[in-house]
C-alpha cells in the first residue's frame, strides 16, 4: 500500500527520526574504557524523568512485563502477601505474575473502566493491623481501559494509615508521558518499558527503586538471577552491565532523554494532556460515543479506549482501518475484545498526526455502519486544539 502506516496503538509508539538515526551505528565494545561515557549519564538522566533524587533507576534488556518480576523478586519473599486491584488486562497480568512467583495475592475486582477504589483501599489497610500486606501493586495507567489512577491520593492513604507496604507502580504507559513524581509521591518501585513514552522499540525495561526498596533486597528471598539488582549495582556505578547490553538501544535512549529533558517534563505532561483532550472531544462531542473510562477523573492522557455501540464489533473497525486506510488502532483486550478500539496518543505525536487517527477511525466506523456524522470528530478536536494553541509551546 502506498504511503506510510499510521501507527496509533498505545505501544509500540512512533520512534522519532533522530532516535532511529542514533541507533543506526556499528556494534561496539561494551567493556571498553570509553563505554561508561555513554552509560553513566543515562542513569542520572533517567532519574530526572522518574523525578527522583534519592532512588536508583536500572536498565534491563527486557520488557515492561519483566519489570513486574524485577520489582517483586528484589524486594519480597515466598509467601509474602501483596494487595492489588484487578481493573483491566494489565493489572490482571501483574496479579498472575505475582501468583506464579509464589506470593500470596489478595486482590479485588473493580469494574473495567474504573480505577482503584480509594475508600476500599483505606479500609483494607486499616484492617491490616498485623501488617501482613508487604506490597501494594498498582497500575498507574491501565492501558487496556484508558484509566489513570491517582497515585498521590494512594500515597496519602498509605501515610494516613501508617502502613509500611512497599508502593509498587506499573508505569509502562505513563512514565515519560503522564505526570509522575517518584519521590514526592513516595513510590518505592516504579517500572516502565521502552516502547511507549520513551519512543523506542520494545526491549528495554527501566525500573526505579527508592532507598526503602533498595534496602528490602537484603532480606528478600525470592529467587533471582538475571533480574538481580545486586548484579546491576556491582557494575552500574562504573558504567557497565553484568551482561551484554543492547548497545543500540542505549544510544537510542540517550537521544530520547535529550528530547524529553529539552522539552521539560512538565511541558511533556502538558502536551499529552492537551492532545488527549482533543481526542476526547472527538469521541464525546463529535461522535457522541463514550469512553471505557467511566468518569473524567480517570481519563488517561496517553490512550483512549472507545466503546462501540451495541450491535457492532470493534474488531471490524480495526480490521477495516488497517486494510483500507493503513491505520493501526489498538484492539480491545480480554474482557473488552470486540467492545472497544483504542487510540494511543503518547510519545512523538502532535495535532496533525492525531488528526489522521481521528479521520481514519471515523471512516472505518462509517464503513461498518456506525452512525457517526462525517467530519464530526475532527471538527470537535480541531476547534479545541485551535482554541488552546496559545498553550502549546513554540516548536
**Together in a domain, 272 and 253:** no
Confidence check: pLDDT of 393 > 80: no
Average pLDDT over residues 184-188: 98
Please check whether residue 182 lies inside any domain of the structure: yes
Confidence check: pLDDT of 395 > 60: no
What distance in Å separates the CA atoms of residue 327 and residue 319, rounded to the nearest whole number?
Answer: 9
Burial 251-272 (b: 16+ CB within 10 A, else e): bbbbbbbeebeeeebeebbbbb
| pLDDT at residue number 123 | 98
| pLDDT at residue number 390 | 82
Cis omega before residue 150 (within 30°)?
A: no
Angstrom CA distances, 270 to 62, 122, 129, 187, 277, stand at 29, 30, 41, 22, 11
**Together in a domain, 105 and 241:** yes
Confidence check: pLDDT of 392 > 80: no
Q: What is the pTM of this model?
A: 0.96
**Together in a domain, 213 and 275:** no
**Together in a domain, 186 and 258:** yes
Please check whether residue 105 lies inside any domain of the structure: yes
| pLDDT at residue number 219 | 98
- Choose the final residue of a domain: 207, 236, 262: 262
Confidence check: pLDDT of 144 > 70: yes
| pLDDT at residue number 2 | 78
pLDDT-based confidence at 394, cuts 50/70/90?
Answer: low
Helices 89-100/64-73 angle, 10° precision? 40
Average pLDDT over residues 354-359: 98
| pLDDT at residue number 67 | 98
| pLDDT at residue number 58 | 98
**Together in a domain, 235 and 308:** no
Angle at 392 between CA 389 and CA 395, to 5 degrees: 115
| pLDDT at residue number 1 | 63
C-alpha cell at 184: 514526592
Please check whether residue 1 lies inside any domain of the structure: no
Total count of domains within the chain: 2
Average pLDDT over residues 186-191: 98
**Together in a domain, 253 and 317:** no
pLDDT per residue as tens digits for the range 301-338: 999 999 999 999 999 999 999 999 999 999 999 999 99
Average pLDDT over residues 42-48: 98
CB 85 within 8 A of CB 94: no
CA torsion 219→222→224→228, rounded to 10°? -40
CATH of residue 110: 3.40.640.10
- Choose the final residue of a domain: 209, 239, 262: 262
**Together in a domain, 288 and 373:** yes
Which among 39, 38, 62, 58 has a CA at the least distance from the CA of 50? Answer: 58
Range of the domain at 95: 17-262
**Together in a domain, 326 and 376:** yes
**Together in a domain, 248 and 374:** no
Confidence check: pLDDT of 388 > 60: yes
Burial 339-375 (b: 16+ CB within 10 A, else e): bbbbbbbbbbbebeebbebbbbbbbbbeebebebeee
What distance in Å separates the CA atoms of residue 301 and residue 3, rounded to the nearest whole number?
Answer: 28
Confidence check: pLDDT of 118 > 80: yes
Please check whether residue 227 lies inside any domain of the structure: yes
CATH of residue 368: 3.90.1150.10
Please check whether residue 83 lies inside any domain of the structure: yes
Confidence check: pLDDT of 282 > 60: yes
Confidence check: pLDDT of 75 > 80: yes
pLDDT-based confidence at 159, cuts 50/70/90?
Answer: very high
- Choose the final residue of a domain: 212, 242, 262: 262
**Together in a domain, 227 and 273:** no
**Together in a domain, 215 and 303:** no
C-alpha cell at 296: 473524567
pLDDT per residue as tens digits for the range 284-295: 999 999 999 999
Which among 197, 208, 202, 117 has a CA at the least distance from the CA of 166? Answer: 208
Burial class (CB in 10 A: 0-12, 13-18, 19+), 206: buried
CB 269 within 8 A of CB 52: no
**Together in a domain, 253 and 340:** no
Average pLDDT over residues 107-114: 98
pLDDT over 70, % of the chain: 98
Amino acid at each position: 500500500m502506498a504511503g506510510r502506516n499510521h501507527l496509533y496503538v498505545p505501544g509500540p509508539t512512533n520512534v522519532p527520526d533522530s532516535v532511529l538515526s542514533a541507533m543506526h551505528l556499528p556494534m561496539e565494545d561494551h567493556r571498553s574504557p570509553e563505554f561508561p561515557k555513554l552509560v553513566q549519564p543515562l542513569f542520572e538522566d533517567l532519574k530526572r524523568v522518574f523525578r527522583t533524587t534519592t532512588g536508583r533507576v536500572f536498565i534491563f534488556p527486557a520488557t515492561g512485563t519483566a519489570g513486574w518480576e524485577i520489582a517483586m523478586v528484589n524486594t519480597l519473599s515466598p509467601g509474602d502477601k501483596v494487595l492489588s486491584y484487578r481493573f483491566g488486562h494489565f493489572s490482571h497480568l501483574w496479579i498472575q505474575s505475582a501468583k506464579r512467583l509464589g506470593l500470596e495475592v489478595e486482590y479485588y475486582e473493580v469494574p473495567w473502566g474504573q480505577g482503584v477504589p480509594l475508600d476500599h483501599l483505606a479500609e483494607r489497610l486499616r484492617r491490616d493491623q498485623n501488617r501482613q500486606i508487604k506490597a501494594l501493586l498498582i497500575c498507574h495507567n491501565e492501558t487496556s481501559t484508558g484509566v489513570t489512577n491517582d497515585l498521590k491520593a494512594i500515597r496519602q492513604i498509605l501515610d494516613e494509615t501508617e502502613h509500611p507496604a512497599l508502593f509498587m507502580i506499573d508505569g509502562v504507559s505513563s512514565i515519560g508521558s503522564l505526570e509522575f513524581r517518584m519521590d514526592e509521591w513516595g513510590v518505592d518501585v516504579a517500572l516502565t518499558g521502552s516502547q511507549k513514552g520513551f519512543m523506542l522499540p520494545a526491549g528495554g525495561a527501566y525500573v526505579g527503586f527508592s532507598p526503602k526498596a533498595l534496602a528490602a533486597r537484603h532480606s528478600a528471598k525470592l529467587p533471582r538471577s538475571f533480574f538481580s539488582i545486586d548484579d546491576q549495582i556491582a557494575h552500574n556505578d562504573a558504567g557497565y552491565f553484568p551482561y551484554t547490553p543492547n548497545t543500540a538501544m542505549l544510544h537510542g535512549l540517550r537521544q530520547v532523554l535529550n528530547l524529553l529533558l529539552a522539552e521539560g517534563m512538565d511541558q511533556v505532561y502538558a502536551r499529552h494532556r492537551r492532545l488527549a483532550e482533543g481526542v476526547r472531544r472527538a469521541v464525546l462531542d463529535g461522535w457522541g460515543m463514550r469512553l471505557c473510562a467511566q468518569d473524567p477523573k480517570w481519563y488517561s492522557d496517553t490512550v483512549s479506549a472507545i466503546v462501540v455501540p451495541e450491535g457492532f464489533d470493534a474488531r471490524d473497525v480495526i480490521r477495516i482501518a488497517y486494510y483500507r486506510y493503513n491505520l493501526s488502532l489498538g484492539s480491545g483486550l480480554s474482557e473488552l475484545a470486540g467492545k472497544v478500539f483504542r487510540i494511543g496518543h503518547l510519545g512523538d505525536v502532535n495535532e496533525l498526526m492525531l488528526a489522521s487517527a481521528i479521520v481514519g477511525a471515523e471512516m472505518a466506523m462509517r464503513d461498518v455502519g456506525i452512525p457517526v456524522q462525517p467530519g464530526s470528530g475532527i471538527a470537535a478536536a480541531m476547534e479545541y486544539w485551535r482554541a488552546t494553541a496559545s498553550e502549546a509551546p513554540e516548536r
